[in-house]
Amino acid sequence: MSEQPAEPQAAHQQTQPSVAQHAHRKDEHVALAVSLHDPERRTGYDDVAFMHHAVPGTCIDTVDTRTEVLGATWGLPLYINAMTGGTPKTAAINADLARAAAGAGIAIATGSQHVALRDPDLAETFSVIRRNAPEAFVLANVGPTVSPELARRAVDMLDANALQVHLNVTQEVVMPEGDRDFSSWADAVAAIVEAVDVPVVVKEVGFGLSRRTVDEVIGLGVAAVDVAGNGGTDFVAIENSRRPEMEFSYLTGWGQSAILSLLESAAGPDPVDVPVLASGGVRTPLDVVRALSLGACAAGASGHFLRTLVGGGPEALEAELASWTSQLRSLMALVGASDVPGLQRTDVLITGETAERARLLDIDLERLARRSRA
C-alpha cells in the first residue's frame, strides 16, 4: 500500500491508515500466513517431473551449488524471501530469520519497509536483519509508490546489496485499505532504478510475472526479476480474511505459478537477458531443483520458512536449512547435474494444468523433455 503522505482525497481514494494501524496489519499478515497455510495444496511445481536416467554420471560430494546473482556468487541457489517487519514481534522474527540465513550461508530479503519509512523509530525492526547477518546478501524491499528518496533510505536502512520493488496490484485490490491507482507504477519503477546505487529486482508477491511484464520492467532498467508465482502465501486469502464480508473469495488462486512464469521467460529458446529468481509455493528442495531446471538462478521461500520458525523455533529452522542444503546436492546428483547450470540440460516433463496453459502460450514442452540429447 502507498506509504506517501496522503494527498487531498479524491472521491475514489481511501484514507491512509495510521502508522500504528499499518504496523498492526503486519502482525495480522504473519498470523494469517501461518493459519491459512494448506500443506496439501497442489501447485505448479507438482506438474514438473524429471525423466529418470539410471546412470547420472555424478558424485554428490563434488556437486557445485554455487550460482551467480547480480554480480555476486551465492554458495547456494536458495534465499529466504521477503517477509515482515514493523512491530516488536516481527522484529524478533526478522532477527531469527537473519541468523538462520547467516548460519546457512544464504541470501535474505526483508518484507516491505514502508511502515519504517513513515516512522523511522521502526527502522530497527528491519535493520536487525543486517545486524544478525553481517556478511549475507540482503535485499531491501519497497513498493512502486515510494519516492526515489525513500527508496534510497530503504537501501541504507539495511546496507542492502539489492532492492526489491514489489508489484502487488492483486493484493491492493483486495486489501480493504489498499491503493486504487496503479497508473504511475511503471514511471515510479524507472525513477527508483535511476535513484538507487544497487541493483533493482522487480518481484511479484504471489501472482506471477508474465513475459509481457518481465519485458516491460527490463525496459525500465531493472537488473533482475523474481517471478513469485501463486501456490504459496496467498495475499488474496489473507486480505480477504480482513474484509467483513470476505467478498473476494473467488479470487483465491489468481495469477500464474512460478513454473509457468519460468516457462515463459527463462526456459525457452528466447530467455530474458537478466537473472530470473523464482519464489512462490516452494515447499521442498525438489521444488528448488525444479525451478533451477527451468532457468531460475535461485529459488526463494517465505511462508514455508516462516511456519517452520513459528512452529519449531530458531533451532528447527536452522536444522531445516542444513537439511535442505544436503538434499539439494543429493537431488542435483540424482538428476545428473554437477552444477546449477547443468540443471538446465536435464530432461523435464511438464504435465497437468501447467502444460495446458503453456501450450496456449506456444511453449515447446517437447523440447524440454529431450534436452539432454542436444
Taking only the tens place, the pLDDT of each residue in 131-170 is 999 999 999 999 999 999 999 999 999 999 999 999 999 9
- Determine phi and psi for 141, rounding to 5 degrees: -150, 125
E strands of the chain, at which residues?
A: 48-50, 67-69, 72-74, 78-80, 107-109, 138-142, 162-167, 200-204, 224-226, 276-279, 298-301, 348-350
CATH of residue 280's domain is 3.20.20.70
Q: Which residues contact 282 (CB under 8 A, 6 or more apart)?
A: 45, 232, 258, 288, 291, 299, 300, 301, 304
Query: What pTM was computed for the model?
Result: 0.90
Whether the pLDDT of residue 4 is over 80: the answer is: no
| Residue 79 placed within a domain | yes
- Determine phi and psi for 361, rounding to 5 degrees: -95, 10
Domain total of the chain? 1
What type of residue is 272? V
pLDDT in the model for residue 28? 60
Which range marks the domain in which residue 91 is found?
A: 19-373
| Residue 13 placed within a domain | no
**pLDDT per position as a tens digit, 303-314:** 889 989 999 999
Q: Are 115 and 22 in contact (CB under 8 A)?
A: yes
pLDDT band at 31 (very low <50, low <70, confident <90, very high): low
pLDDT in the model for residue 99? 97
Give buried/exposed letters for 141-164 (b at 16+ CB in 10 A, else e): bbbbbbbeebbbbbbebbebbbbb
Query: How much of the chain, in percent, has pLDDT values that exceed 90?
Result: 79
SS3 200: strand
Task: Round to whole Å and give the CA distance between 300 and 253.
Answer: 19
| Residue 98 placed within a domain | yes
**pLDDT per position as a tens digit, 220-258:** 999 999 999 998 888 898 899 899 999 999 998 899 999
Q: Poorest-confidence range of 13-17, 34-38, 249-253, 294-298?
A: 13-17
Q: Are 139 and 176 in contact (CB under 8 A)?
A: no
| Residue 1 placed within a domain | no
| Grid cell 537501501 in the structure block, residue | 155
Q: Poorest-confidence range of 39-43, 144-148, 152-156, 260-264?
A: 39-43
Cell of 170: 492483486
SS3 276: strand
| Residue 11 placed within a domain | no
- Which residues pair with residue 164 across a beta bridge? 141, 201
Give the mean pLDDT of 83-100: 90
SS3 149: helix
| Residue 9 placed within a domain | no
Q: How far is CA 182 from CA 2, 188, 246, 248, 367, in A?
A: 10, 10, 23, 19, 38
Computed on alpha carbons and rounded to an integer, the radius of gyration of the chain in Å comes to: 20
Q: What is the residue-averaged pLDDT of the chain?
A: 91
SS3 95: helix
| Residue 253 placed within a domain | yes
What type of residue is 151? A
- Which residues pair with residue 339 across a beta bridge? 64
Give the mean pLDDT of 21-43: 61
SS3 300: strand
- Determine phi and psi for 277, rounding to 5 degrees: -100, 150
pLDDT in the model for residue 67? 98
| Residue 6 placed within a domain | no
Task: Round to whole Å and give the CA distance between 84 and 125.
Answer: 9
Q: Which residues contact 125 (CB under 8 A, 6 or more apart)?
A: 85, 86, 87, 88, 90, 91, 94, 116
Whether the pLDDT of residue 374 is over 90: the answer is: no
